[in-house]
Amino acid sequence: MRGGADQFIKEAERSLNDSIMVVRRAMKFSSIVAGGGAIEMEISRYLRHHARSISGKTQLIINSFARALECIPRTIAENAGLDSIEVLNRLRQKHA
């Protein structure tokens, strides 16, 4: 590997090694854990459903926490250059 500074070369080498190890682990083990905010979206869906059975301020607090959990997949979508609103709507549909 070649680059402008030794620090950039070492960082690129670490990134490449991390990528190779992820592929190696994925090929070695057959179980997969959903990523990309899937767990947060599922917890958010559950909390929104549960909040319907509660009244008052508690319902507002639970809904606010559920909305806060959706910041993680929204940020991932924005960092990937996608339309975060569209991605979140599709994720909500899939989880429903």
Q: Which two tokens stand for residue 23?
A: 């592929």
Q: How far is CA 33 from the centre of its chain?
A: 12
What pLDDT, on the 0 to 100 scale, is given for residue 31? 78
The CA distance from 2 to 11, in Å, is 12
What pLDDT, on the 0 to 100 scale, is given for residue 68? 95
Domain segments of the chain as ranges:
1-31, 38-95
Per-residue pLDDT tens listing for the chain (96 residues)? 566 678 888 888 899 999 999 889 888 887 777 788 888 999 999 999 999 999 999 999 999 999 999 999 999 999 989 998 998 899 889 888
Q: What share of the chain is helix, strand, coil (3-state, %, to 5)?
A: 75, 0, 25
> pTM to 2 decimals?
0.63
CB count in 10 Å sphere of residue 24: 10
The CA distance from 36 to 51, in Å, is 24
What pLDDT, on the 0 to 100 scale, is given for residue 44? 94
What pLDDT, on the 0 to 100 scale, is given for residue 62? 96
The CA distance from 20 to 64, in Å, is 39
What pLDDT, on the 0 to 100 scale, is given for residue 34? 74
